[in-house]
Each structure stands twice: as structure tokens, then as C-alpha cells.
Amino acid sequence: MKILVTGGLGFIGSHTVVELQSEGFEVVIIDDCSNASEEVLKGINAITGKMPLYEKIDLKDKEKVIDFFKRHDDVEGVIHFAASKAVGESVEKPLLYYENNIATLVYILKELSQKKKSSFIFSSSCTVYGQADKMPITESAPIKPAESPYGNTKQMGEEIIRDTCLVTPNLNAIALRYFNPMGAHPSAEIGELPIGVPQNLIPFITQTGVGMRKELSVFGDDYPTKDGTCVRDYIYVVDLAKAHVQALKRLLEHENGENYEVFNLGTGTGSSVLEVIQSFERVSGEKLNYKIVDRRPGDVISAFADTTKANEVLGWKAQYTLDEAMKSAWDWEQKIRN
Ligand code: UD1
């Protein structure tokens, strides 16, 4: 069964391709390599013994999208990761984000709507909840006004899919709201590869650990949390990848309740920035250089998932601990720097 994975060379995409291939799916990747490298294909091949099909296509090119679906009319499901994801950059370049994240989504949905039957998985984010009023966050928590164009593209993306599903019974879709993905494949053949200075906590920590960065800035220690630093739900990328396969199978096997569904993907445990640093120090045996600085504008205080729906309805549960995920991130960082 052929599955299209857009953004399949990226961090979460590549791990999902591995899980799909391990379960016997045939994968075709579309990636424009704007934030990923074709080298990732070698890593996927090293793990699974199979080279996925791959086409370098910019999904903003509508004609190319139409042409792709004509040539691959046997695609039965699409997992759509391709998107820009830097919050700060989205504030600087809103139109880039609306074009990359929204226009491309519309083009793909237009093609899928014309098929007799199609299954679609969308990468959404816990960012749609903003600062939720209650922890842990359930899927029915209100959607708060977006803090950034990036966050807005995730909210709008969900609405576009929901509205399309309402009038397109042959389209079945699931939006997965990720909490904070981290880590790398246990083989250390694929992992996170941020370009330039990492904006996210985990790659900044591991790069500081290997000496590429002088010190980590911890953004604020005066939040109303257990130790004053922000709390997040860090989810191992392989667990996350498996959830995509589970969601896809749910659609392919007609197990979905409605033709548009939403699931949180997290561990259900909130960890503070200082706890994440302690985890790094435990698994690496190294002391991490860090200093406390001012809060980062736009950061929410706390966000962790209520995973009941994913556990009970999707039949998926995160298996790995923060330390295990951290160990994989550290192994990967050391491997790529050597
Ligand atoms: C951010 C986005 C989220 C997006 C995700 C993926 C916001 C509010 N959320 O998540 O929408 O899906 O990135 O790109 O922007 N931290 C430090 N020092 C650092 C980096 C981070 O202390 O150098 C702290 C942050 O304040 C935060 C935590 O670490 O408390 C996690 O930060 P980060 O990895 O950037 O993820 P989010 O901000 O949660």
C-alpha cells in the first residue's frame, strides 16, 4: 500500500517513514530540502534495508502537485509533515508561513477530495491551545487566539481540514496535536538536524554538551511552576512516529468514528526546563553550562497532555521515558559531531 509522506526527510517525517516501512507500507517522500538533507535517505535505508521513493518537489508549485497525484494515482494515504516551524521567523515573514503551510495544504486536499477514498494525517501542535486554563490539556480545551503566524497556520490548517471533511465523505482525516518532540532513532542513523542556532531546547542542550555552544540560556525562572521554569511534555520521536502509523491504520481500516478527528500526542507528564537539564546531566555524565535569563516572549507557562483519548481511542501510548529519549538525542549529537 503506497503512502505519501510530505516532509519525509525532516525530523518527525523521517522517523515516521522508518516505522511505515517497517510495517510493510510502500513510501513515497516529497521534500523540497528547504530544511532537510537527502542524506537522510541513507539513514532510512540503513535502518530498514529499503530506500523509499523520493521526489524533490516544492508543494507551493500547484501544477507539480497535480502532476504528482496523476503519476501516483495509487497513493492511498498521505501524512503531511511539510511545513515551516520556526515561531520567531513566522512573525518576521507571515506570508512565507501562510504560503508554505496553508497554500500547500489546500493543493493537497484538492487532489485528495477528487479521489474515491483517501486518508489524510495532519501535523498539528499543542500550540493551538495557547496557555490552556487546565492541566493536563484535553482535546476539548478551547483553542486560544494564536500567538504567532506559525501557530495560526496550525489552527487554520485544522479548520480547513474540518470544513473540507464536512462536505467530502470520501476524505478521512486525523489531526495530531504534538506536544514537544525530541530524541533520535536508537540506531543514531537519523535524528534532529536543526540548521543554524537551534531555537528548541533539546538540540540546544545537546549542542552545548558537545561544546558547539558556550551555554544554554534558560528563559525565565520566575514562572508559577514547580521550580520556576516552564513546563512542557517531551515526547520521544519514535513514539510519535508510531502514533502516525496507528492513526493511518485507523483510517485505512475504517475504524475512525467521524471523518475528521483530533488527538493529543504527548506523554502526559510535564517536565520543567531544569528537570530536562538534570536528565541530560544524568544520561551524559556531563555538567551542562547554563544561565538563567529573561523570559522569552510568547512562551506559555505550562503545557502537558491529557493522553486518555490517544490511549483509549487510538490505542497508542508513549513508551519511552525522558531519560531514554534524552540518551538517544545525546548519542545522535555525539555521532554527527564526530
Ligand atoms: C515551540 C513552539 C511550538 C512549536 C515548537 C516546535 C512556542 C510558544 N511554541 O514550542 O508551537 O510547535 O516550538 O518548533 O513558541 N527554552 C530555554 N532555552 C532555550 C530554548 C528553549 O529555556 O534555548 C525553554 C523554553 O522557554 C520552553 C522550553 O524550553 O519553556 C521548550 O522550548 P522549545 O523547545 O522552543 O519548545 P516550545 O516553545 O514549547
pLDDT the model gives residue 248: 98
Nearest-CA residue for ligand 1 atom 22 is 218
| pLDDT, mean over the chain | 97
pLDDT the model gives residue 338: 84
pLDDT digits (tens, 9 = 90+) for 132-174: 999 999 999 999 999 999 999 999 999 999 999 999 999 999 9
Q: What cell numbers appear for 179 in the block?
A: 506536544
Residue 62 CA from chain centroid, whole number: 24
Domains, the chain, with CATH or none: 2-182+235-265 (3.40.50.720), 201-232+268-337 (3.90.25.10)
pLDDT the model gives residue 39: 97
Spacing, Cα 206 to ligand 1 middle (Å): 15
At residue 92, does pLDDT exceed 90? Answer: yes
Catalytic residue among 150, 223, 234, 236: 150
User: DSSP secondary-structure letter at 193?
Assistant: -
Q: What cell numbers appear for 296 in the block?
A: 522569552
Residue carrying the nine cell digits 465523505: 169
> How far apart (Å, rounded) are the C-alpha atoms in residues 284 and 188?
15
Residues in a beta bridge with 303 = 232
Q: What cell numbers appear for 218 in the block?
A: 534558560
Q: Taking a C-beta distance cutoff of 8 angstroms, is the pair 31, 12 a contact?
A: no
At residue 6, does pLDDT exceed 90? Answer: yes
Element (H, E) at 217: strand 216-219
At residue 192, does pLDDT exceed 90? Answer: yes
> How far apart (Å, rounded) are the C-alpha atoms in residues 38 and 54?
9
- The pLDDT of 212-217, averaged and rounded, is 98
Element (H, E) at 173: strand 171-178
pLDDT digits (tens, 9 = 90+) for 12-54: 999 999 999 999 999 999 999 999 999 999 999 999 999 999 9
> How far apart (Å, rounded) are the C-alpha atoms in residues 84 and 90?
8
Judged by DSSP in three states, 51 sits in coil
pLDDT the model gives residue 21: 98
Question: In 3D, which of 99, 88, 109 has the Cα closest to residue 175?
Answer: 109
Q: Is this prediction's pTM over 0.85?
A: yes
pLDDT the model gives residue 328: 98
Q: Taking a C-beta distance cutoff of 8 angstroms, is the pair 310, 263 a contact?
A: yes
Q: According to DSSP H, which parts of 72-200 are helical? A: 87-92, 94-98, 104-113, 149-167
Q: Is 234 a catalytic residue?
A: no
User: Measuring from each residue's beta carbon to the nearest atom of ligand 1, which residues come in under 6 Å?
Assistant: 85, 87, 125, 127, 151, 180, 199-201, 204, 216-219, 230, 232, 273, 296, 298-300
pLDDT the model gives residue 267: 98
- The pLDDT of 123-132, averaged and rounded, is 97
> How far apart (Å, rounded) are the C-alpha atoms in residues 309 and 312?
5
Spacing, Cα 295 to ligand 1 middle (Å): 11
pLDDT digits (tens, 9 = 90+) for 239-278: 999 999 999 999 999 999 999 999 999 999 999 999 999 9
At residue 288, does pLDDT exceed 90? Answer: yes
**Sign of dihedral through CA atoms 130, 136, 175, 11?**
positive
Percent of the chain at pLDDT above 90? 99
